[in-house]
Every structure is written in structure tokens, then in C-alpha cells.
Amino acid sequence: MLPVLIRRRQGLYEELRSGVHTNLSFGAGSPISDHGKPGAQGKYQRGVIGKEYVLFAESPDKLSILIPLPDKIHALRDEIFTTSSALGPLTPGSELEKMAAEGARISINNQSHTAGLPSLPASY
């Protein structure tokens, strides 16, 4: 089904566009379509939350349910999405230590034209 969807991506984008608000053009998102092409397998990280990431259980009203194992799911997420360092939610240390180690930068732009407004979130 994926090759068919890839061929129809422009039409599908046009159909779905009315319900999605984004500043990305179709062309900006189209590199994702390379995923199904031959030779692209090593280019993308992917993972599946399979049976090793959940507990099989039964609800009080006898329905079969899956209980997620957050630590295992977080480890999978970190494996897929952490590219620049091994820093993730399961990294030991306090939140402040992890934030300092990450070294993230934030830019605050005042679009409201209210003088001094950016200083409140900037001080936080």
C-alpha cells in the first residue's frame, strides 16, 4: 500500500490540507516519501512498540487490554530520536542537570508589539 500512497501523495496532501494548519509546503515534507524507495532502508531510524513494550491484561469488565511499559517505550524513543548525544529522559540526574547538559538555546520573538513582554518567559 505504501508505494500507492507515495504515488498519490500530492493528491492526498491537497485533500488533507484543509484540515491541517502548517507553514510547510508540500515540497518541504516530500523527502519523507523517500522512505519507501529501494536503498532508503539505512537512511531512516524506525521502531515498533511491539509485545515486549506492553503487558497483556484484562480490564475489570473482562476486556483484553494492553498496559504500556513507559520505561521501555522511552528507551525506544531515545534510541530513535536522540542523534547528538545519549541524553534522554532515562539519563540519570536531576532535570536541571540534564537541561544544563543539553545546552539548548531558546529564541523569544515579540510578535505582540507589547514592550517588555518577552522578558517574562525569558527570565523563566
Q: What pLDDT, on the 0 to 100 scale, is given for residue 54? A: 94
The residue-averaged pLDDT of 42-61 equals: 85
Backbone angles phi, psi at 33, to 5 degrees: -65, -15
Cell numbers found for residue 121: 518567559
Judged against a pLDDT cut of 80, whether residue 69 lies above it is answered with yes
pTM of full prediction above 0.75:
no
Higher pLDDT, 75 or 52: 52
CA 54 – CA 98 distance, rounded (Å) = 27
Judged against a pLDDT cut of 70, whether residue 39 lies above it is answered with no
Higher pLDDT, 119 or 41: 119
Cell numbers found for residue 122: 525569558
pLDDT in tens, 5-19: 778 877 777 777 666
Long-range contacts of 68-72 (CB under 8 A, 24+ apart): none
CA 49 – CA 58 distance, rounded (Å) = 19
